[in-house]
Structure 1
């Protein structure tokens, strides 16, 4: 009886020991699984960190390349200089007078205003491109891309109109340019100098197909009997074939006087140029259309490439921000 009780007690202790061993083994197995799971997570985190570090390194390299390619800082300085030059010229020219701006041609024909507008556009674009690239600012880069896109679309529209409706487009340009610049010739010294340079360099007189007769639209050169101006029926000296006095070498500003009164164009053509400047410029460009086309095409490619760089940098910044924020 005592022997049976000892055997039963030993069996019970053995079962308890086995249960404790099984419990310890279970705990150890659980701990091992947790350790393995933790190691796996750590490995995944390490891989993710390596990927992020590699992506950041690639991003910094690409961003650095793109930043170096953005030479807009110099353009920004040029824009500021243009704005300053235009403002100074405008104040010097129109300090005590008021100007009338009715359309875009009025802005273009006022050289100081045109310089201010052009300088503002250059400064705005270069500022957005430069600061947007250096500071990795998505908003400024989008503004820069949008401005480039608008500029490119405008160029395409104007080119398409000139290509599809050449006669109407050229007629409108001739009529517009033969009116306002001629009328304002004596009122704007800057415009006067530009017209004189164009007429001298391209050997032309006037703007439209009427040639030197365009100058009758100016109140000083208008060829009517009631015009009290001493320049009545004249044309600017820049229309003359030989404006300089042979003896003194000085410019004879009266070399174009009374030319509109001469009925024979052949006789007039001996002393002054009679064709319009649009025709003269067109004839000059026609033999070099390949060069002109190549320049326009290159300019368009540069714009598209700049838009591509800006969009590429925007995409890289957005992707990097998504990785950092875990989106």
Structure 2
């Protein structure tokens, strides 16, 4: 009778071990794809009109993006560690894997919270700094000049709040130019097209409104993904700990 119970216990242990291995393997596949998602969103945020970030006065937006990229790369590496722990039945790998999952949970939560915090503050920052940056740095700082021209051309806008802002710029007061606004303000771009400020010639929308809407869209996506996917790590931690305990029981 005791032999039968022992056999049943061994069978249940093997079945439980097999089940947890499969569950954790499936989780790692999903986990790997979540890391790829983090990397893709980070790269998209960096590449898509990234030059506009230089017009912001603080590094919060860039920091959130870099944190997303780092988290995505870290997730992909950790997913391989999890698979190694499953394939080798290594309790050490599984424990380290669970600790890394906890760290990733914190990184994802932080990046999501930072994105939502900055999304709420972006209007105030742009109101305080964008106009000064455009008026003081255009044609003075080459990098800022390229960013401002790209901003006005890509978003079909002119000036921070209105196109008349340009008459107070360092560019107008310092350089001998016949332009009233930069050529990047023009509806149809051509050299010296900024000499006429007629509504049929230049874009009238304010750049601050369009840049704010653009940055907010990016930050909402980053925040949603960061906070949404961080919950995934909880399941991984539970599965890894259960598998580690099951391996210990099976080896005794």
TM-score, normalised on structure 2? 0.64
Q: 1:309 to 1:194 in 2, by over 3 A?
A: farther
Q: Which residue in 1 is equivalent to 2:20?
A: 59
User: Where does 1:1-327 land on structure 2 (aligned, <5 Å)?
Assistant: 40=2, 42-72=3-33, 75=36, 103-104=58-59, 108=62, 119-128=69-78, 130-136=79-85, 137=93, 138-156=95-113, 158-159=115-116, 170-180=123-133, 187=141, 189=143, 195-207=148-160, 209-211=161-163, 213=165, 216=168, 219=170, 221=171, 223-224=172-173, 227=174, 229-231=175-177, 234-243=180-189, 251-252=190-191, 254-257=192-195, 268-280=198-210, 299=225, 302-324=228-250
**TM-aligned CA deviation for residue 46 of structure 1:** 2.2
8 Å contact kept, 1:205–1:276: yes
Q: Select the structure that is richer in helix.
A: 2
Measured in 2, the distance between the counterparts of 1:188 and 1:308 equals 47
For the residues of structure 2 that align with 1:117 and 1:157, how far apart are their CA atoms? 10
Q: C-alpha separation between the residues in 2 aligned to 1:215 and 1:47?
A: 87
1:211-266 CA-partner distances (Å, limit 9, x unpaired)? 5526855x5x2x32xx2x244865332211222xxxxxxx32x2224x7xxxxxxx
Alpha-carbon deviation of 1:170? 1.4
In structure 1, C-alpha distance between the alignment counterparts of 2:70 and 2:212, rounded to whole Å: 30
Q: What is the match of residue 15 of structure 1?
A: none
How far the C-alpha of 1:55 sits from its partner, in A, is 1.0
RMSD, aligned CA: 4.5
Structure 1: give runs of 5+ residues left out of the alignment: 1-38, 87-101, 244-250, 260-266
| TM superposition shift of 1:70 | 2.9
Residue of structure 1 equivalent to 2:90: none
Q: Check conservation: 2:112, 2:225, Cα contact below 8 A.
A: no
Contact 2:152–2:158 at 8 Å: present in 1 too?
Answer: yes
- Residue ranges of structure 2 left out of the alignment (5+ in a row): 48-56, 86-92
Q: Secondary structure at the match of 1:241?
A: coil
For residue 203 of structure 2, give the secondary structure of its aligned residue in structure 1. Answer: coil
TM-score, length of structure 1 as denominator length: 0.52
Q: Contact conserved, 2:35 with 2:73, CA < 8 A, in 1?
A: no
> Separation in 2 of the partners of 1:272 and 1:280?
16
For residue 144 of structure 1, report the CA deviation from its aligned partner: 4.0
Q: CA contact under 8 A between 2:166 and 2:180: conserved in structure 1?
A: no
Q: What SS does structure 2 have at the residue aligned with 1:175?
A: helix
How many residues matched?
228
Distance 1:154 1:305, change over 3 A: closer
